[in-house]
Amino acid sequence: MHLSYFGIRVTNLAKSVDFYTRHFGLQPPRGTELPKTTPAEQASALLVDPRSSQRLELNYYPPGNPYAVPYVAGEGWDHLAFRVDDLPRFLDRLGKDGIRPEKMSHFEGPMMVTPTFRVAYIRDPDGNQIELYDTPGTPASGFDPNQY
């Protein structure tokens, strides 16, 4: 058995696809295209991280669909985590698009810094929490499936 993908409900598929592809480099699997739908159609988009092969499924349910229950950010899950090469540089890049780290009660600034990692949290367009972290001195490109 293996974990295949993580699926989350979104309120605007196009906006969420743009967010995850533009800011985190996720891509549709090879040989597939993103769905071309209207807001009245149920749709999903599978996105893949080309570096780690981790997959994220974005699911949209239009009004009237039995799965279109009232949306509550984070319902049924906690957060997604992305390991980046340089957290401060990545936060600066997000800041250019108006995306700012959340103020966390246990952080003294926009990120928590320890001897082994740095971490910050942002929200996606639907208010879902995303953890961003790096491990200074160890590039994120050195992916190890047994490590964070």
CATH of residue 136's domain is: 3.10.180.10
Flag the least confident range among 11-25, 94-108, 134-148. Answer: 134-148
Residues 136 and 88 in one domain: yes
pLDDT of residue 1: 36
Domain-located, residue 148: no
Q: Across all residues in the chain, what is the average pLDDT?
A: 85
What would the pLDDT profile of 80-128 be if each residue is shown by its tens digit? Answer: 888 888 999 999 999 999 999 998 877 788 888 888 889 999 999 998 8
Tell me the Ramachandran region of residue 76: left when phi exceeds 0, alpha when psi lies from -120 to 50, beta otherwise: left
Number of domains in the chain: 2
* Other CB atoms within 10 A of residue 25 CB: 13
Q: Tell me what percent of the residues of the chain surpass a pLDDT of 70.
A: 90
- Residues 6 or more apart whose CB falls under 8 angstroms from that of 131 comprise 79, 80, 81, 82, 119, 120, 121
Report, as an integer, the average pLDDT of 60-76: 81
Query: What pLDDT shows up at residue 146?
Result: 52
Answer yes or no: is 55 within a domain.
yes
Across the strands, what pairs with 123? 129
Mean pLDDT of 58-72: 85
Answer yes or no: do 9 and 58 share one domain. Answer: yes
Asked whether residue 100 is assigned to any structural domain, the reply reads yes
- Residues 82 and 129 placed together within one structural domain of the fold: yes
Between 74 and 49, the higher pLDDT residue: 49
DSSP for residue 25: -
Q: Is residue 61 part of a domain?
A: yes
Sequence-distant (≥ 6) Cβ neighbours of residue 8 within 8 angstroms? 56, 57, 58, 59, 77, 80, 128
146 within domain boundaries: no
Final residue of a structural domain among 43, 71, 99: 71
- When mean pLDDT is compared across 47-51, 69-73, 144-148, the lowest value belongs to 144-148
Q: Which of 133, 105, 124 is nearest to 20 (CA)?
A: 124
- Residue 30: which domain range? 1-71
